[in-house]
Amino acid sequence: MSIHEECGVFGVISPDLCDIASIVYYGLYALQHRGQESCGVVVNNDGVFTSHKDLGLVSEVFNKDVLAKLGQGRLAVGHVRYGTMGGNSRNNCQPIEVNHQKGCMALAHNGNLANAGELRSNLELSGAIFHTTSDTETIAYVVTKERLRSNSMEEALSASMKILDGAYSLVLMTSQKLICARDPYGFRPLCYGRTADGSYVVSSESCALSAVGAEFVRDVEPGEIIVFTREGIKSIKEHCHHKRKRMCIFEFIYFARPDSTIDCVSVHGARLRAGELLANYHPAKSDIVIGVPDSGLDAALGFSRASGIPYGIGLVKNKYIGRTFISPGQDTRLDQVRIKLSAVEESVKGKSVVLVDDSIVRGTTSQRIVRLLKEVGAKEIHMRISAPPFLHPCYYGTDIDSEEDLIACQHSVEEIAKIIGVDSLGYLPLDELGTLIGSHEYCSACFDNDYPTLIPSDICKYKFENKLSQKQK
Ligand code: SF4
């Protein structure tokens, strides 16, 4: 599997001055699966912002001394990032901090704007100078511009939401407020919880709430803005129900952690259902069902339960790989598989194996996994995929950005089975996607071309770098 989610966001507001950076640290640690390229924390002590951001995993970027230097505070925001828009550079680390005419703010964002290019061009033409290549800076510009003519940051954010189009779940901190917002489609998850001492915690996923001892309160509604202050909570629903809800179905299949719930749907439950459906649609006469860690495991369990074929551990993941081995790029991908995964000979030797994974993108990773299993003696491999074939790019915060790279665009299912070296291959049927999450509406554009927004004219994820380097030439 080689798709990367863009980011995870986290924010805390505490009634008292406390070691708030540590809370964010543990929250980001629980969101690490959403982005491993860079991370950052901004602490707010009575309007004085102190930050630390760098490339690397949360455990590499932060240590006791760094957290101590961030000091105490009542508010803080944090971010983990995989750069789908704007490359992997220190400049693009978040949260972004901005000093504007009416104060200061720190902003962390998950998702991609569909109209980022257009907004950025207009801002540049009106004199804005960008310091990063990430579309989060575009959001910051739009919000601070609106702040000039608004009475409050929430009013500015509400006005900005009429301008921004696409996927954004964000946390924003001013000197006194923690504010979160989810785009009107609700592409990316966002929720909040409360701790026993009265702190409010906002997070991309509910798994990070439990990690800091917060009790889940609820999901942020698509289009909703929530303002947390010392005085309490205010919900602004001006933008709710203006768009058809389109939460990303792939969050349930791959991106989110199985112990999270999104919009009241358990991610683990959705994956189990995908496995059960696969067993019904694509049965196999095999000795064992195994999953590709991590996101294939739950669906493998579902397949096993529905088929009666025993579930086993056939692949083990090395969980302690640092950033060195998680750099984007086709050339490094083949070696990464062997470094990340090992096959369990005892489970698969001489057996017919059902291998469950969440997707096939380019096919190279699947090919390599199949080879690992064959090397330790798997007799037959029947691959089952808990998603339909990827046929279209995503513009909302993943790095599926080119149809040329998608193996299903170039080959039939039988051809793909041959290329990756399996005895049979079966995908989750497109019309069963909804079964995973009940009655919710969802985005499935990367599978069916049904885009909820206008498609951006320039789809290259490094378009701003390209433009910059062209200008420099
Ligand atoms: Fe999710 Fe695919 Fe929609 Fe992107 S296009 S938001 S990955 S369902």
* 104 classed as catalytic: no
> How far from chain centre, in Å, is Cα 190?
11
Question: In the chain, pLDDT over 90 holds for what percent of residues?
Answer: 82
Res 45 pLDDT > 50: yes
Query: How confident is the model at residue 466, as a pLDDT?
Result: 38
pTM of the model: 0.92
357-374 confidence digits (pLDDT tens): 999 999 999 999 999 999
Res 324 pLDDT > 70: no
Q: What average pLDDT does the segment 131-141 reach?
A: 91
When pLDDT is cut at 50, 70 and 90, the band that residue 401 belongs to is low
Q: Is the CB of 406 inside a 6 Å radius of any atom of ligand 1?
A: no
Give the contacts of 63 (CB within 8 A, at least 6 positions apart).
none
First to last CA, the chain: 36
Question: Which residue's CA is the closest to the ligand 1 atom numbered 8?
Answer: 444
Other Cβ atoms less than 10 A from the Cβ of 306: the count is: 18
Query: How confident is the model at residue 83, as a pLDDT?
Result: 62
Query: How confident is the model at residue 27, as a pLDDT?
Result: 98
450-469 confidence digits (pLDDT tens): 999 998 876 544 443 333 33
Q: Is the CB of 248 inside a 6 Å radius of any atom of ligand 1?
A: yes
Q: How far apart are CA 110 and CA 396, in angstroms?
A: 9
Query: How confident is the model at residue 190, as a pLDDT?
Result: 98
Q: Is the CB of 387 inside a 6 Å radius of any atom of ligand 1?
A: no
Contact 106, 59 (CB under 8 A): no
Question: Which residue's CA is the closest to the ligand 1 atom numbered 6?
Answer: 248
How far does the centroid of ligand 1 lie from the alpha carbon of residue 396, in Å? Answer: 6
User: Would you give the DSSP letter of residue 293?
Assistant: T
Q: Which of 7, 39, 248, 446 is catalytic?
A: 7
Greatest alpha-carbon pair distance for the chain in Å reads: 71
CATH code for the structural domain at 265-438 = 3.40.50.2020
Q: Which two tokens stand for residue 225?
A: 């803005």
Q: Is the CB of 253 inside a 6 Å radius of any atom of ligand 1?
A: no
Q: Is the CB of 255 inside a 6 Å radius of any atom of ligand 1?
A: no
Q: How far apart are CA 98 and CA 153, in angstroms?
A: 13
How far does the centroid of ligand 1 lie from the alpha carbon of residue 54, in Å? Answer: 28
Atom of ligand 1 nearest to the CA of 251: 1
Compute the chain's Rg from CA coordinates.
22
How far does the centroid of ligand 1 lie from the alpha carbon of residue 356, in Å? Answer: 21
Atom of ligand 1 nearest to the CA of 447: 2
Other Cβ atoms less than 10 A from the Cβ of 448: the count is: 14
Query: How confident is the model at residue 456, as a pLDDT?
Result: 82
Q: Which residue has the higher pLDDT, 223 or 405?
A: 223
How far does the centroid of ligand 1 lie from the alpha carbon of residue 328, in Å? Answer: 19
Question: Looking up tokens 């954004």, which residue turns up?
Answer: 168
Q: What average pLDDT does the segment 149-172 reach?
A: 97
* Residue among 394, 400, 447, 459 whose CB has most ligand 1 atoms within 8 A, to mutate: 394
Closest by CA to 260, choosing from 1, 5, 3, is 5
68-107 confidence digits (pLDDT tens): 999 999 999 999 998 655 556 788 899 999 999 999 999 9
Of 227-236, 315-324, 418-427, 451-460, least confident by mean pLDDT is 315-324
Q: What average pLDDT does the segment 429-449 reach?
A: 95
Q: How far apart are CA 255 and CA 169, in angstroms?
A: 15
Q: Is the CB of 444 inside a 6 Å radius of any atom of ligand 1?
A: yes
Element (H, E) at 436: none
Question: How high is the mean pLDDT of the chain?
Answer: 91
Side-chain half-sphere CA neighbours of 102 within 13 A:
14
Alpha-carbon distances, residue 1 vs 295, 325, 390 (angstroms)? 9, 14, 12
How far does the centroid of ligand 1 lie from the alpha carbon of residue 446, in Å? Answer: 5
Q: Domain 7-246 adopts which CATH fold? A: Glutamine Phosphoribosylpyrophosphate, subunit 1, domain 1 (3.60.20)
Q: How far apart are CA 392 and CA 189, in angstroms?
A: 22
How far does the centroid of ligand 1 lie from the alpha carbon of residue 134, in Å? Answer: 19
Res 197 pLDDT > 90: yes
* Residue among 3, 169, 248 whose CB has most ligand 1 atoms within 8 A, to mutate: 248
Q: Is the CB of 394 inside a 6 Å radius of any atom of ligand 1?
A: yes
Domain extent listing, the chain: 7-246, 265-438
Atom of ligand 1 nearest to the CA of 393: 5
How far does the centroid of ligand 1 lie from the alpha carbon of residue 36, in Å? Answer: 20
The most confident of 4-13, 92-101, 419-428, by mean pLDDT? 419-428
Res 212 pLDDT > 90: yes
Bond preceding residue 294 cis, omega within 30 of 0: yes
Q: Is the CB of 110 inside a 6 Å radius of any atom of ligand 1?
A: no
